[in-house]
């Protein structure tokens, strides 16, 4: 079974230091180059689309100029008005109007208008005048369909009628119409129909060698280009680059889509070839390094054997030191260490024997508190049998306190702490002969919150000893509530209180983190409470003494709410 020993770890680490940086740099370089090439492709696509958009926009500008000229020329409108109801050339006036209209068409086409654009003027009698001597058979055949798409209630605006193909013909014509309206007679004079051949768009889109281009109209119908691309909008896949540009005057959308894998395929093949070469180099280098590393590892194997035998109990085994190299120095150091370990082992065996004796003594000491509790329990049972409820209750309270002192470092709930204080007050009443009453007022949601055990006991003791001695109606109140972002515990008494200067001095001392070794005995309990608060609840927790309306003193413990939430029941924050 293969064992990953020391020299093999060194060899593996050395190989990883070579192969990992090479592969990492290669992968990062490949990703950056690929991303850069894709970005350049995207930028090229956008520039390419911009050139196409400019070219199509120029054609649309020519069409718009021609339509505006025809509509806005006053004399030409007169010819159209006279020619509006002519169904054929019957008179010289008809011929004159026809000639004038043809002349205006000649004037428009004298502008470098695109050769793929044809214009037709159709009067109310469907008499058609073309801008050139082209065959009008296709236009006449599609005239009814075109008129069905024209909205005559929108005069003097360009209306995009869409692509019209005749039967199975592949080469269609995109038609644009403009209704020429007569404001005097409140009716249209004629319709200007402009046709742009599909061959114009195909010729414009043909130079695309990488990717596919398609031109859609405002309704999402294809005008020209690839039939494999979807309509404008969210489309394509993560492996494709898709760009869309909308022409402002026409609401046409030019869509370009290219496959990223086809573009980056050569880069990927080069990268995989490079990774294959790196792996081949790694295999050759691994075989060579294994042979060299094995020879270098032989002295270390000797060190392993000596250490293994020493660990198995042969304390007299030592290394044979040869030469003056680093291995010889290490062997000499190891022999010295083995001599020292041999002496330490004997010392430890002696210490362990002494430790076992001390553990037995400690175990015996632990039995004593349990012996006291068991004894008190027996006395309590005897008192109960004698119907002495008072003293049996006092012994029960004393047992509760003893158990609490034995588990001083364990946390408790606020409710359990208050019950423990009841037991403590029962004992103090017997001890000091003071009729003290305890009143507990806790908000229901605070009863199960966790606090350190016996944290309230020093405060209760101070209240009884220093404020309630010889007091005929001694009372202590424990309240818990949530106020202004703090969990607050108030221990209030109706005792004699303390002097104001002493109270201020004591509050100042309670804010000091380290009370020092010279703290007076009567202040040790309160300072201990302050330190335990900060220890368990953080530096923002504090205790302060304030006078109350009963002329006594109130100890206020303030704990930040976020610290309290961190020690809810079921959590091991304490």
* CATH number corresponding to 32-258: 3.30.450
Average pLDDT, the chain: 76
Phi, psi of 448 (to 5 degrees): -100, 10
The model's pTM is: 0.42
Question: How many Å apart are CA 558 and CA 543, to the nearest integer?
Answer: 6
Whether 36 and 303 have beta carbons less than 8 Å apart is answered as no
Running DSSP on this structure, what letter comes out for residue 266? H
Whether 434 and 471 have beta carbons less than 8 Å apart is answered as yes
Q: List pLDDT tens digits, range 125-152.
A: 888 888 777 667 777 778 888 888 888 8
pLDDT score for 439: 92
Question: How many Å apart are CA 205 and CA 52, to the nearest integer?
Answer: 8
Q: List pLDDT tens digits, range 187-235.
A: 888 888 888 887 777 777 776 656 778 888 777 777 777 777 777 666 5
Q: How confident is the model at residue 116 (pLDDT cuts 50, 70, 90)?
A: confident
Q: List pLDDT tens digits, range 392-424.
A: 667 777 777 777 666 667 788 999 989 888 888
HSE, CB side, 13 Å, CA atoms: give it for residue 244: 15
Instruction: Judge if 32-258 and 433-565 fold alike in CATH terms.
Output: no
DSSP structure string for 387-422: T-HHHHHHHHHHHHHHHHHHTTTSEEEHHHHHHHHH
Whose tokens are 């609401």? That residue is 251
- Which residue ranges make up each domain of the chain? 32-258, 433-565
* CATH number corresponding to 433-565: 3.30.565.10
Kindly state the percentage of the chain with pLDDT values over 90: 6
Which of 49-63, 242-256, 363-377 is predicted with the least confidence, judged by mean pLDDT? 363-377
pLDDT score for 553: 92
Has residue 512 got a pLDDT over 50? yes
Whether 65 and 71 have beta carbons less than 8 Å apart is answered as no
């Amino acid at each position: 079974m293969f064992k990953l020993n020391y020299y093999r770890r060194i060899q593996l680490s050395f190989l990883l230091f070579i192969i990992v940086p090479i592969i990492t740099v290669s992968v990062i370089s490949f990703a950056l180059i690929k991303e850069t090439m894709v970005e350049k492709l995207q930028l090229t696509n956008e520039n390419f689309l911009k050139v196409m958009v400019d070219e199509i926009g120029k054609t649309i500008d020519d069409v718009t100029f021609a339509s505006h000229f025809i509509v806005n020329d006053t004399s030409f409108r007169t010819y159209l008005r006279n020619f509006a109801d002519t169904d054929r050339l019957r008179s010289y006036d008809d011929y004159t109007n026809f000639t004038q209209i043809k002349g205006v068409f000649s004037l428009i086409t004298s502008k470098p208008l695109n050769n793929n654009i044809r214009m037709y003027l159709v009067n109310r009698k469907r008499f058609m005048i073309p801008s050139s001597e082209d065959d009008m058979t296709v236009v006449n055949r599609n005239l009814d369909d075109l008129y069905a798409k024209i909205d005559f209630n929108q005069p003097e605006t360009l209306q995009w009628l869409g692509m019209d193909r005749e039967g199975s013909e592949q080469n269609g014509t995109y038609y644009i119409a403009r209704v020429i309206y007569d404001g005097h007679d409140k009716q249209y004079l004629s319709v200007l129909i402009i046709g742009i051949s599909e061959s114009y768009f195909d010729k414009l889109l043909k130079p695309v060698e990488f990717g596919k281009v398609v031109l859609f109209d405002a309704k999402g119908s294809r005008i020209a280009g690839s039939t494999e691309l979807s309509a404008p909008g969210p489309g394509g896949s993560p492996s494709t680059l898709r760009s869309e540009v909308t022409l402002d005057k026409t609401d046409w959308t030019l869509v370009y889509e290219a496959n990223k894998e086809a573009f980056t395929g050569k880069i990927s093949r080069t990268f995989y070839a490079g990774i294959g070469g790196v792996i081949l180099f790694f295999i050759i280098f691994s075989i060579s390094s294994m042979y060299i590393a094995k020879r270098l590892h032989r002295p270390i194997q000797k060190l392993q054997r000596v250490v293994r035998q020493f660990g198995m109990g042969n304390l007299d085994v030592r290394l044979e030191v040869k030469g003056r190299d680093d291995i010889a120095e290490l062997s000499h150091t190891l022999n010295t260490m083995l001599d020292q370990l041999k002496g330490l082992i004997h010392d430890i065996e002696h210490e362990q024997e002494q430790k076992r004796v001390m553990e037995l003594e400690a175990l015996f000491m632990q039995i004593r508190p349990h012996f006291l509790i068991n004894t008190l329990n027996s006395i309590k049972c005897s008192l109960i049998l004698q119907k002495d409820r008072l003293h049996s209750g006092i012994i029960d309270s004393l047992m509760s306190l003893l158990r609490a002192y034995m588990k001083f470092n364990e946390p408790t709930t606020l409710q359990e702490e208050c019950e423990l204080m009841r037991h403590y007050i029962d004992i103090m009443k017997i001890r000091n002969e003071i009729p003290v009453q305890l009143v507990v007022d806790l908000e229901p949601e605070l009863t199960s919150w966790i606090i350190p055990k016996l944290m309230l006991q020093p405060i209760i003791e101070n209240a009884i000893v220093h404020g309630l001695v010889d007091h005929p109606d001694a009372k202590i109140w424990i309240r818990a509530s949530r106020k202004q972002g703090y969990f607050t515990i108030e221990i209030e008494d109706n005792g004699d209180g303390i002097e104001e200067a002493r109270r201020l001095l004591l509050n100042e001392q309670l804010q000091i983190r380290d009370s020092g070794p010279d703290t007076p005995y009567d202040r040790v309990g309160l300072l201990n409470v302050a330190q335990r608060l900060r220890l368990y609840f953080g530096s923002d927790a504090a205790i302060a003494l304030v006078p109350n309306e009963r002329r006594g003193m109130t100890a206020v413990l303030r704990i930040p709410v976020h610290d309290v939430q961190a020690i809810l029941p079921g959590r091991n924050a304490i």
